[in-house]
Amino acid sequence: MKKDLNSTNSTFCSAPYVASYIGMQGEFMPCCIFNYESKLSTYSGDDNLLDHMNSPAAVQLRKDLHNGVRVKACNHCWELEDKGLGSLRYHFNRSYAYDEVVKATNANNFFIPDLKLRYIDIRFSNKCNLKCVTCSSGWSTAWYGDSVQLGHSLPSEPKLKSIENTDNLLTQIYDQIDNIEQIYFAGGEPLMLPEHYKLLNKIIDKGRAEKIALLYSTNMAKLTYGKWDVVPLWQQFKEICVQASLDGSHSRGEYLRTNIKWDNVEANIERLQKEVPHLNFNIAPTISWMNSYNVVDLHREFIEKKYITVGKIHANILHNPPQYALYKLPKGHLDALVNKYNKHIEWIKTLDAPDNLKTMDILAFEKVVVYIKEGLESKVDNHKEETYSIIQANLDKLRKVDFFNIFPEFADLKNKHYYE
């Protein structure tokens, strides 16, 4: 039986009891925002999922969170909660809080006696069709050739990074289908992964699709892959939530997410709106200094075109690679951005939408404003640090694109000797 477990104590989290994140190189964690450096274990080949859920680190994590310890690897949630904001911990404690599972596990010295996964976050591999500027070959196979030419990767390094023996993993997930309530797919590009389609078809064959919600981080470049078309599959599931990784529109979007065709993105969105009526469509831009001026334009354009409704943006502030972080901009640009974001926030307030949804969008942009202001406190007027770096210049030369032609607002950052 479900029970809101947020009242248990200020640190308890149900994720280590009923959820798992499995990364493309076997990183095993309770969720996607758990600190990577603190992964609980590494899944490989013929492993048993229950063994990983009961690894020494996993057992200790459950014990610590139950006993009121603010585990350092969970800092992402603590920081949000300290600011009075919602967190993934709150979400898990409401949505995947099975009191009997928690009690049985705690009574068993924090060892899970019988695995009943309710939520799975899985990244089968780094196979991807795009080579986004801020990405790398570790997350995208499409990046590999450029990475080798630029000297970032060795030709001997593997291009494809994937979970070992996915057949064994899929078999174990199949055994959990009657328990699972939500699956989160990311990559790489999940809509290009055969394992993703095998799992969806297995769920449909078992008659469980109407009970399971699917969540995706996808680039929206394509809805078909080989013999598969994801649309008729999605039509059979309880809920489809898409977080579209789009950083800009038209030529700006095509620069930032190399290989994407903007016309295809819009056509795919429009097809989903017509054929998957229960679709929950969101945009999740990664905000770097490059798209910092234009992400508000993307948000406004998508609302005006009715691609999204108010409350459907999840803004991610980029921290790595550091050469693309917002703080690399000179003070004058940071000041201008604060002004532009504040104007956009005022525009959001005028929209005909419920106040709680407008507040969600306002908070998304206020978060960026706070981040920029924190950067301004450490800036000096005579900014000497290069923003458009030699790394980016070399990448642009390789891809035969002109950043300053596409983003003329940054013309003052052009370093002429990169073009000699």
**What tokens were used for 101?**
């599972």
159 within 8 A of 184, measured Cβ to Cβ = no
DSSP 259-311: T--HHHHHHHHHHHHHH-TTEEEEE--EE-STTTTTHHHHHHHHHHTTSS-TT
Q: Please tell me the pTM assigned to this model.
A: 0.92
Cα 323 from chain centroid?
20
98 within 8 A of 1, measured Cβ to Cβ = yes
**What tokens were used for 175?**
């055994």
**What tokens were used for 150?**
């630029």
189 within 8 A of 130, measured Cβ to Cβ = yes
* The residue count for the chain: 420
357 within 8 A of 349, measured Cβ to Cβ = no
Sequential pLDDT tens for the chain (420 residues): 555 555 568 999 999 999 999 999 999 999 999 998 899 999 998 899 999 999 999 999 999 999 999 999 999 999 889 988 789 999 999 998 788 999 999 999 999 999 999 999 999 999 999 999 999 999 999 999 999 999 887 777 778 899 988 999 999 999 999 999 999 999 899 999 999 999 999 999 999 999 999 999 999 999 999 999 999 999 999 999 999 999 999 999 999 999 999 999 999 999 999 999 999 999 999 999 999 999 999 999 999 999 999 999 999 999 889 899 998 999 999 999 999 999 999 999 999 999 999 999 999 999 999 989 887 776 554 444 578 888 899 999 999 999 999 999 999 998 754 544
93 within 8 A of 155, measured Cβ to Cβ = no
Distance, CA of 172 to CA of 213 (rounded, Å): 19
Q: With H, G, I as helix, E, B as strand and everything else as coil, classify residue 28.
A: strand
Domains of the chain: 15-118 (no CATH), 123-284 (3.20.20.70)
215 within 8 A of 95, measured Cβ to Cβ = no
- The pLDDT, as a whole number, for residue 224 is 97
Distance, CA of 192 to CA of 126 (rounded, Å): 10
Beta-bridge partners for 121: 21, 184
* Helix, strand, coil percentages in the chain from 3-state DSSP, rounded to 5: 45, 10, 40
